[in-house]
Amino acid sequence: MLQVTHEIISSILSPLCDVASQRGIEIVCCDEKVRNCVPILCGWLADHMENVMIYGISSNWCPICITPPNEFGELVNPPYASRQHSKYAAAFHHTDIHILNSDGVKNINNVL
């Protein structure tokens, strides 16, 4: 189910990755002038469970950092590192389940 959701997100967002979009698309603005626009995904409004789905993590993990769930609420110094999504992509492609599991990441081909 989660992999299917990511395939759907990939299908929806794929026009943003094609060559034409990277060079710009002519769009009529509200002042009726045609401008060359480069569409980008710059934000995504989501609650925790939607972030869990988007990031492909277990529901009791933080989508931003790798703080273990049993240490939530503790102020550690230095703080836990932010998630490295490129590391998870490499781990998925090399079938390194240990790296994924150690950070609460599910073994899916995450589109983002």
Write out the residues near Zn ion by the rule CB under 5 A. 62, 64-65, 67
Cβ neighbour number for residue 9 with a 10 Å cutoff: 15
Residues 6+ apart with CB under 8 A from 109: 3, 6, 92
Q: How far is the CB of 81 from Zn ion (least distance, A)?
A: 10
Q: Report the amino acid identity of residue 48.
A: H
Residue nearest Zn ion by beta-carbon distance: 62
d(CA 65, CA 98): 17
Which CB sits closer to Zn ion, 35 or 85?
85
Which CB sits closer to Zn ion, 9 or 66?
66
Which CB sits closer to Zn ion, 61 or 92?
61
Structure tokens at 54: 């988007």
